Amino acid sequence: QPGHKGGEGCQKGGHGRATRLTPQVMSTMAMALRVVVPPHPLIGHWLAVLRDRHTPGPLYASATTELGRWLSYEALRDWLPHRSIQVDSPLATTEAEIVDGDVPLLALPLLTAGLGLWQGAQAVIPSAQVRHLGLQQQGIRGLDRPIPPRSGVLVFCATVATGEGLNQVLDRLAELGVRGDRLRVVTALASGPGLQLVGERHGDLTIYTAGIDPELDGDGQIVPGIGVVAERLFAGPLLEIAVPTA
C-alpha cells in the first residue's frame, strides 16, 4: 500500500504543519483528523492569488494548477511507494530509489472545479489512472465499479466548504474498501465547519490544503474564501452536475 516505506506522513519529519481537529474540539470523533497545511511560501503565494477578487480568470487557473502541483508533491512525500534498485552510473554501480510502479495510483478529481487541482497534479504523477467524479442525486458517477485492492487513491476537491459532498465521496470509497492510509485528499482551501463534519465520520483521513478559513456564510461559501471556484476557473457560471456543496 502507499506509504509502506515512508513513515507517518504529517506526524513526523517537519515537512508540513499538521492541524489536528482533536476530540477536545470534536467530541464525536474517534480518531484525530489530520489536516496538513504545508508551510511552503509558494503555496501561500498561490493561495493569495486565488483569494484576490481582482485576479483574472487565466491567472486564477494558473494558480489553481500550481496549488495542485505543490499540494500533491507534499501529499506524496511520505506516501508514494518506492523501492531500491542498483543502477550503473558512468563511473560506478550505485543504489538508487525509484517509484514502485507495481502499486497503482488512482486520481479522483471531483467535477468540475477539482479539475484545476488535478491539472497540476498530473505533472507529479503522470502515470496515475483517473476517474472523474460527479455528485448526482442517484449517487456518485465514477465510483460504480471496484477499485483495485492495492491502489493508492488521491481525491482532488477544489474546496472543502460544508463537507457534505466530500463525505458522500468518502462514504462510497469506504464501501469500496478505500480508507485510512490508502487515501489522501488534496484541496485548495477548507473551512473549519467542513473539516469538523468530515472528521466526525472519517477521522482516519489525511487532508492536504493551502489554508483553513474559520467560517461559512449563509450560502455555504467559505469566508473569506477564494470565491466560487468553478465560475472563476472557467470564467463564467456552469451547469453543475454536483448537487451538494463539497
Mean pLDDT, residues 26-30 taken together: 38
* Distance (Å, whole) CA 176 – CA 171: 9
Give the mean pLDDT of 167-195.
94
Question: From CA 119, how far away is CA 134, in angstroms rounded?
Answer: 17
pLDDT the model gives residue 26:
40
pLDDT of residue 166 exceeding 70, the answer is yes
Q: What is the mean pLDDT of the segment spanning 114-129?
A: 92
Highest-confidence range of 12-21, 133-142, 150-159, by mean pLDDT? 150-159
Torsion of Cα atoms, 214 then 53 then 184 then 80, to 10°: -130
Output b/e per residue, 205-217; b: 16+ Cβ within 10 A. Answer: bbbbbbbbbeebe
Least-confidence region, from 11-15, 149-153, 211-215, 230-234: 11-15
CA distance 33 to 4: 20
Pick 96 or 29 by higher pLDDT: 96
